[in-house]
Amino acid sequence: MKTSELSPWSDEQSIRFLSTFESWANMAHLIQTTLKQDPRKYPHQIRAACAVVIMICRDKLWPERSDLMTIDDVVSLARRQLAQVKQQFSIKARINPELKQNPKFRRLLDSIDQEMRILESRVAEEPLDLPQEPPASWGQFWSD
């Protein structure tokens, strides 16, 4: 039996539950709405929405509703918006060079790079291997 067949969303009953769970669809709508915001004004909210996309955008897990974006569209939008968020942080670093020396800030940029790689791997023509390491700022959350 493949590992993917053991996931909580791999059988028909789970798929049916998720597709009829209104709160799940509301969360998907919130993610979609947040990702459409201006990254200059809402970089942290957009990054948080991208993190949720990274965690839940798997086949059969994203709600299939006509008023929601498809999983591929959501992942692509998250990737584009996260690139804009990174650009905003890079601009801040150019304006304030001391920021580049801050280890916490460097770890933030490393984490965003890793998050972007994960999103890119999910929309690649040929599936890329997902990075095994957690994004730098996610700590133990990824592996627990």
> Looking at the domain assignment, is residue 10 inside a domain?
no
| Cα(107)–Cα(67) distance, integer angstroms | 37
> Looking at the domain assignment, is residue 108 inside a domain?
yes
Q: Consecutive 10-residue runs of the chain (144 residues): their mean pLDDT? A: 62 75 82 96 95 79 74 91 95 90 91 90 69 62 49
pTM recorded for the entire structure = 0.78
> Looking at the domain assignment, is residue 5 inside a domain?
no
What's the domain range around 94? 15-141
pLDDT for 59 equals 63
> Looking at the domain assignment, is residue 96 inside a domain?
yes
Segment 60-95, tens digit of pLDDT: 667 777 777 888 889 999 999 999 999 999 999 999
> Looking at the domain assignment, is residue 93 inside a domain?
yes
pLDDT for 132 equals 54
- If you write DSSP's letter for every residue of 72-132 in order, what string do you get? HHHHHHHHHHHHHHHHHHHHHHHH-THHHH-HHHHHHHHHHHHHHHHHHHHH-SSPPPPPS
Structurally, the chain folds into a number of domains equal to 1
